[in-house]
Chains A and B, each alone.
Chain A
C-alpha cells in the first residue's frame, strides 16, 4: 500500500465516526469567562504591586488528598452566576489541595469550576493590554497557579466566611455585580408591560432571583456616573431613564436562551449581561487596566 492509499483508508475510517456538533455559543461564553479570569488576575497584580506583599511562603510540603469533588463542575458544564474568583497564594499542589478541601467543605460554596495552571498567565500575556508576552513580570510568577470560579450561596456574609476559611491559602476576589442579566425596559414602557415581565421572571425556573430597578434608582446611579456633568444631570428627569430588572441565572441556565426569552417581550428594550457585554468588563474597568499597564514590573507602557 502507498501513502495515498493510506490517506484514502483513513478518510473512510474518519467518515465512519459519528459527526460532532459543537456549540459556538459555549465557546463564546468560555472566552467571556476567561476574560474575567484575566481581569481578576490584573486586580491581583495591582494589589500585589501596590502593597508589595506576596505571601507565597510555606505550605509547599503539605499534601492534602481530596477525593470528594461533588461541587466541582466537569469540563463540559457551565456555571450560572460567578460570585467570585479564588486565587491560591502559590502554585504548589499542596496549597491547591488545601484550597479545594476548603471549597468542598465550606457551607457557603454552592459549586466551583477549576481553570488549569498556566492558562491564566498565558491569557494575561496575550491580553490586548500589552503585557509583554515573555518574560512575564516577576510578580506574575505568583500567578502561574490554578484558578477557581466559585458560586456562593446567597447569604450576606458568604464572602467573608469563605475568606476566613481560606485563610492564608488563597485570596477571594468577589464579582461586584450580583446579577447576570438585565432586562432593560423601554423608556415609555407601560405599567402593564412592566408587571407582565415581573410575573414572568417570578415564574421562571432558569432564574434564582430578580431585582427591580425603578426610575428613581436608575436616576441615582445616573447622577453618580455623570456627577462631572451637572448640566446633563439637571436636564434629565428620572422618568427619562428606563426601568430594569436585574436577575441571577440558575446554575444550569443558558444565558442566550434566557436573553432571547425576555428580549421579545413587548416593552422590553434589551435583555443582556453586565455593561460591556461580559462579566470580564464588569470586573475590569479599562482605566484600571491602563493603570496596571503603566505600573508593571517592566515599567513599560504598551
Chain B
C-alpha cells in the first residue's frame, strides 16, 4: 500500500491550476472545474505508477477531468424535464465574467457549442495531440478534426493543414 510521495505533490501543484482553468475555458463553471480537476487527480494518485509512466501525465488528467465535466453536464441535462440539452446546445453563460469578451476571439469562443469549445481548449490550450483529444471527447480522431474545423471556421481562424499532418502522424 505505497502512497506516492513528493513526486505526486509536485505533479499536483504543477497540474491543478492549468487544468482547472482550461476546464473553465471549455465552459465549466468554477466549482465544477475545481471538482473535476480534483477528481481527476484523485484517480491519478490511485494509479500513479501507471500515470507517471505516460508521456503526458498531465494530458491524462485533462482527459479524465474533461470526461468528468461532460458526464456532469449529461446528468444535469437528463435531470431536467424541460428545456434544451446543455451538452448539445449553447455553451453555458460564464457567470463570474472571468472570461472577458473584449476581443472578437473571446466573444466567439464563449458562443461556440460545448463540443467545439472542448476540442479547441484541449487542442490549443492543453496542447494535446489529436489522438488524446479524441479520447477525451469520446469520439474518433476524424470527428475531432471536423469539430475543430467547424470551430476554427466559426472563430474565423485560417484552416491550417497541420491538423491533417498531426492526425496522419
Instruction: Identify the A interface with B (CB < 8 A).
Output: 1-3, 5-7, 9-14, 16-22, 24, 26-28, 30-31, 34-35, 75-76, 123, 126, 128, 276-278, 280-281
Contact = CB atoms under 8 A, between A and B. Distances in A.
Secondary structure of the A contact surface, majority rule: helix
B24 interface: yes
Contacts, number: 111
A20 B120 contact: no
16 contacts: A1-B155, A3-B158, A5-B157, A6-B124, A13-B106, A14-B21, A17-B24, A19-B21, A22-B20, A27-B12, A31-B3, A34-B46, A75-B39, A126-B46, A276-B1, A280-B1
Contacts of A30: 38, 42
B41 interface: yes
Interface string B83-103: 000000000000010111001
B35 A17 contact: no
A61 B136 CA distance: 34
Among A6, A16, A30, residue most surrounded by chain B Cβ atoms (within 10 Å): A6
Contacts of A276: 1
A22 B105 contact: no
Interface in B98-129: 98-100, 103, 105-106, 109, 120-121, 124-125
B16 to A, nearest CB: 4
B21 A17 contact: yes
Contacts of A22: 12, 16-17, 20, 34, 37-38, 41
B25 interface: yes
Contacts of A6: 105, 120, 124, 152, 155, 157
A28 B1 CA distance: 13
A212 to B, nearest CB: 29
B98 A18 contact: yes
